[in-house]
Amino acid sequence: MHLIDTHTHIYGPEFDLDREEAVKRALEAGVGMLLLPNVDASTIAPMLATHECFPDCTRMMMGLQPEEVKGDYKQVLANMEKELERDIYIGVGEIGLDFYWDTTFEKEQLDAFETQLGWAKQLGLPLSIHCRNAFGFMARILEKHQDGSLKGVMHCFTGTEEEAKVYLELGFHLGLGGVTTHKNCGVKDYLHNIPLNRIVLETDAPYLSPVPHRGKRNEPAFMVETAKKIAEIYEMLVQEIAEITTRNVKTLFKI
């Protein structure tokens, strides 16, 4: 079995004591590739260092996560845009909109998001998009900018079937993670209506662990539990889910 974790922060401090072991556990579980989305200015160096340690099984993305958009965001974005010139990144991410806790920087988030969509268009790179409590804004912006060149993953998708269909119509894939295994996740009720060629798997490690690891630190190896749940919903073998979702990722991110 070969799976790809399309969204993991294994470079974070949560893995400083056992990063090598966590990567080993992932490989042993069949998770053979880890995609690393950036968060902010402070995460670039540890992400690069992690990729240097594990060059064969990691790939990187560059972007400013919406919750980290502050007053200095324009300077941060300028530095990230320069970093993207290095041609070592397979995507623009993690970017998006998040109005869950705080809307202080709503205007700045919107501007940062549109700026980074521009990078993706210019460079022909796929996106890893974070959206929380912002579906209306997100749909309008993506509709405005989608000229056939935007593509990517709606990371940690947990929305309604109607929201899923909007994103699919806009040309995006849905990133499904540990939340899909949780009892109260509504995605399970309609997932069988979503074409499998538009689904990719992820962990968002160290966050959002799947059942039976809920409450513990998440890690890429645990993605197998999500794959099992998806296989159960589609009434398919886990191996088939692995093959299809891996093919989806390879096509989308050109890896």
> What percent of the chain shows pLDDT beyond 90?
98
Give pLDDT, residue 215.
93
**Dist CA 47 CA 52 (whole Å):** 9
pLDDT confidence band for 241 (50 / 70 / 90): very high
What's the pLDDT at 103? 87
Q: What is the pLDDT of residue 102?
A: 84
Average pLDDT (62-74) is 97
Average pLDDT score over residue span 101-118: 95
- In 103-143, where do the E strands start and end? 127-132
Instruction: Kindly tell me if the per-residue pLDDT of 242 is higher than 90.
Output: yes
Judging by beta carbons within 10 Å of its beta carbon (0-12, 13-18, 19+), is residue 170 exposed, middle or buried? middle
What's the domain count of the chain?
A: 1
Residue 89 has pLDDT above 90, yes or no: yes
Report the 10 Å Cβ neighbour count for 204: 22
Q: Which pLDDT band holds residue 129 (cuts at 50, 70, 90)? A: very high
Indicate whether 101 pLDDT > 90: no
CB 60 within 8 A of CB 36: yes
CATH of the domain at 235: 3.20.20.140
> What mean pLDDT is predicted for residues 72-98?
97
Q: Which domain holds residue 156?
A: 3-253
Give the per-residue pLDDT at 3. Answer: 98
pLDDT value at position 77?
98
Contact 71, 108 (CB under 8 A): yes
Mean pLDDT taken over the chain: 97
Integer Cα distance of 203 and 224 in angstroms = 10
Place of tokens 């993690």: 94
Q: Which amino acid is at 149?
A: S
225 pLDDT exceeds 90?
yes
Provide the β-strand partners of residue 36.
Answer: 60
**Of the candidates 29, 83, 28, the residue with the CA atom closest to the CA atom of residue 60:** 83
Q: What is the mean pLDDT of residues 163-185?
A: 97
Look at residue 81 in the predicted model and tell me its pLDDT. 98
Stretch 221-244: mean pLDDT, rounded? 98
